[in-house]
Structure 1
Amino acid sequence: MKKTYLFLLLAVTFFSCGDGERSNNNPNIPNYTVNFSVDMNLPTYSNLKFVSNAVIVPNYGAKGIIIFNTGSGYNAFDAACPNQSLNSCVAMTINGINAVCSCDKEEYSLFTGLGKKEYPLKQYRVSVNGTLINVYN
């Protein structure tokens, strides 16, 4: 009987575990390989030392990468509008703590990546080593 309960407990635990991340599958944004670092000591990226600041790093991903300081870490999102075809819009712009799509003016939270439409912002992984922010997938 103990083995049965142990098996059920392990089975429930195994099937309830997830990686805690949203799916990054989006038919509008291709899966580009991303792997770069920015140094917050450089003037271009020094605003990232402060909470609720964001910068766009061009020439990575589909339309550039937005890096955002959440206060407890950093988020990195593709600057392509997630609910529009890739060629229909220019890169998103930053408006405070939101990213704004140039086509439909939809706003997405840079804390969560969520907006009001079907797809959230395409998110990349981030690690921090001193003043270096590494963005990769």
Structure 2
Amino acid sequence: MNENIISPFLKVVTVDDSPLVAERMGAILNDIKGIEFLENAKTIISARNLINTVKPDVVILDINLEEGEFRQTGIDLLVELRQNYPQMKIIIFTNHNELHYRLVCLAKGANYFFDKSSESHKISDVIKQWIIKK
């Protein structure tokens, strides 16, 4: 097999309102062969628009997002994505690493739940496994 040809690509979108985290995730994702990192969305509304337009294979989603007057969380978007895109892979990536949040997110359909402060390296491992399985 020719190692220069990596196909099919996984399309990945991140949803995080922190520019620093978005930049860090972009760097991690851009180092993975076999994915196409599309964009980061900062709000629920922009995430919804981006996801509905590009139909990514993977969404990396924070729980706490700034959303103005209508306060929604990443958990709300998780539920919506799971209903509308049942095959989509969803990784929760958050500083809210309490057991309650982990259990809620996994029960609502997240494939994985990772702590931003200590588990960012696990995201690339998981995505690499999904590339192999695709």
Query: Above 0.5 in TM-score?
Result: no
TM-score normalized by structure 1?
0.27
**Structure (1 or 2) with the larger CA radius of gyration:** 1
> Higher strand share goes to which structure?
1
Task: Considering fraction of residues, name the structure with more helix.
Answer: 2
